């Protein structure tokens, strides 16, 4: 018998209740096939929980979640709940408390999915956005002063530390060694002449330790245009919390839909559980209709298994996603007619139908 992994399952809000179970069905299929066990426990945290209890998580939530190997998460946020709270009280809290300082966000064109970039193929769109996930622009250090008065003012301070920059840089260069040996630092040090100039300097120092990896730097404005015009130049993109947030949604768009993007909030040292979630939000506009695309959630399941060391099972999930899209089994966001559960079912069927030895 293989290993047992303790997985905390947090559906969150909106389409979370549909796509997370879709992802869990795929996880169960590969666990059975590859002989490992998933000891799952659900937690009802999110904006829905807030409406009932006045907080996004129970008071002992972090202590409890800490005992798990990983957190499989959908998204949080509801239109009727103050939208400054979900990130502060759930997502960022988990990411920072558990030192998930890497936000791993791959971008890839699947067979059978038409990218809006009509001249590009699967070979051209295949890279990873590595987003610094614990500091930078999103530390939420700032203040609104005299907000209601004519002299009102507001500020948010970005914080970049040598420690934080070095560890995300090392992660990125090591990742590049497993891919196509290329790191692009996406920055804006020409205008953010303190914080991002320091960011660049520390990364350049780390780059010297990886002479086998091609290193270059690009400004965020040019990088945004390049995502659309020449995505084939990218392999590993190393960038800050804010830039990574925006660029990975753009990555989702060039894949064909936000609903396709998977991600991991990773603590590489495994001192704490990591959290795996699609790149998009809770999509309240399409919740409850069984039409949300579950592929971002299912891809997140594959990234989770890869992190836990079940690499073969992770590869099989990816093969299952590709077989499903290649057949044209697509949800409405990709101009298809399949439901959330039909897409998940198709990935499960692929896993159940293929022999272990053929993968």
75 part of the interface to ligand NAI, by CB under 6 A: yes
- The verdict on 333 binding ligand NAI (CB under 6 A) reads yes
Q: Does 168 bind ligand NAI (CB under 6 A)?
A: no
Could you list the residues that contact Mg ion (CB under 5 A)? Answer: 245
What number of chain residues touch ligand NAI (CB under 6 A)?
Answer: 22
SS (H, E, C) the chain: CCCEEEEEEEEECCCHHHHHHHHHHHHHHHHHHHCCEEEEEECCCCHHHHHHHCCCCCCCHHHHHCCCCEEEEEECCCCCCCCCHHHHHHHHHHHHHCCCCEEEEEEECCCCCCCCCCCCCCCCCEEEEEEECCCEEEEEEEEEECCCCCCCEEEEEEECCHHHHHHHHHHHHHHHHHCCCEEEEEECCCCCCCHHHHHHHHHHHHHCCCCCCEEEEEEHHHHHHHHHHCHHHCCEEEECHHHHHHHHHHHHHHHCCHHHCCCEEECCCCCCCEEECCCCCCCHHHCCCCCCCCHHHHHHHHHHHHHHCCHHHHHHHHHHHHHHHHCCCCCHHHCCCCCHHHHHHHHHHHHHHCCHHHC
Binding partner selected for residue 83 from ligand NAI, Mg ion, none, CB under the kind-specific 5 to 8 Å limit: ligand NAI
Partner whose binding site includes residue 282, from Mg ion, ligand NAI, none (CB under 5 to 8 Å by kind): ligand NAI
Q: Which does 258 bind (CB under 5 to 8 A by kind): Mg ion, ligand NAI, none?
A: ligand NAI
Per rule CB under 6 A, is residue 77 in the interface with ligand NAI? yes
| By the rule CB under 6 A, 188 interacts with ligand NAI | no
Q: Which stretch binds ligand NAI (CB under 6 A): 127-135, 156-164, 207-215, 281-289?
A: 281-289
Beta bridge partners of 10: 73
CB of 320 to Mg ion, least distance (A): 26
Q: Which is nearer to Mg ion, 111 or 284 (CB)?
A: 284
- If the CB atoms of residues 126 and 333 are measured against ligand NAI, the closer one turns out to be 333
**In the complex, what is the shortest distance from the CB of residue 146 to ligand NAI, in angstroms, rounded to a whole number?**
27
Residue nearest to Mg ion (CB): 245
Over the window 82 to 101, marking each residue x when it contacts ligand NAI by CB under 6 A and - when it does not, the resulting string is -x--x----x----------
Residue 336 engages ligand NAI in binding (rule: CB under 6 A): no
Which partner, Mg ion, ligand NAI, none, binds residue 245 by CB below 5 to 8 Å per kind? Mg ion
Give the residues lining the site for ligand NAI (CB under 6 A).
Answer: 15, 19, 75-77, 83, 86, 91, 258-259, 277, 280-286, 292-293, 296, 333
């Amino acid at each position: 018998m293989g290993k047992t992994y303790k997985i905390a399952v947090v559906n969150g809000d909106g389409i979370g209740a549909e796509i997370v179970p879709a992802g869990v069905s795929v996880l169960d299929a590969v666990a059975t096939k590859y002989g490992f066990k998933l000891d799952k426990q659900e937690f009802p945290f999110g904006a829905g929980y807030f409406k009932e209890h006045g907080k996004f998580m129970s008071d002992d939530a972090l202590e409890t979640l800490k005992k798990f190997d990983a957190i499989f998460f959908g998204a949080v946020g509801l239109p009727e709940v103050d939208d400054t709270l979900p990130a502060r009280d759930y997502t960022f809290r988990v990411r920072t408390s558990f030192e998930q300082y890497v936000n791993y966000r791959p971008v890839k064109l699947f067979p059978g999915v038409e990218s809006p970039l009509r001249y590009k193929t699967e070979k051209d769109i295949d890279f990873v956005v590595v987003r610094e996930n614990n500091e930078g622009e999103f530390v939420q250090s700032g203040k609104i002063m005299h907000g209601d008065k004519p002299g009102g003012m507001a500020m948010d301070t970005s914080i970049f530390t040598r420690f934080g920059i070095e560890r995300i840089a090392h992660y990125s260069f090591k990742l590049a060694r497993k891919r196509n040996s290329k790191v692009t630092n996406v920055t804006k040090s020409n205008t953010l002449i303190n914080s991002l100039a320091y960011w660049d300097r520390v990364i350049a120092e780390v780059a010297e330790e990886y002479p086998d990896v091609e290193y270059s730097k690009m400004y965020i404005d040019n990088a945004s245009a390049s995502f659309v015009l020449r995505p084939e130049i990218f392999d590993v993109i190393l960038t800050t919390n804010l830039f990574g947030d925006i660029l990975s949604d753009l990555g989702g768009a060039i894949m064909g839909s936000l609903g396709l993007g998977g991600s991991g909030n990773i603590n590489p040292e495994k001192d704490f559980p990591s959290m795996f979630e699609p790149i998009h939000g809770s999509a309240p506009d399409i919740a409850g209709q069984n039409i949300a695309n579950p592929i971002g959630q299912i891809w997140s399941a594959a990234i989770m298994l890869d992190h836990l060391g079940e690499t073969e099972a992770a590869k099989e999930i990816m093969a299952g996603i590709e077989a499903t899209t290649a057949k044209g089994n697509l949800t409405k966001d990709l101009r298809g007619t399949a439901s959330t559960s039909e897409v998940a079912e198709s990935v499960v069927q692929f896993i159940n139908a293929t022999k272990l030895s053929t993968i």
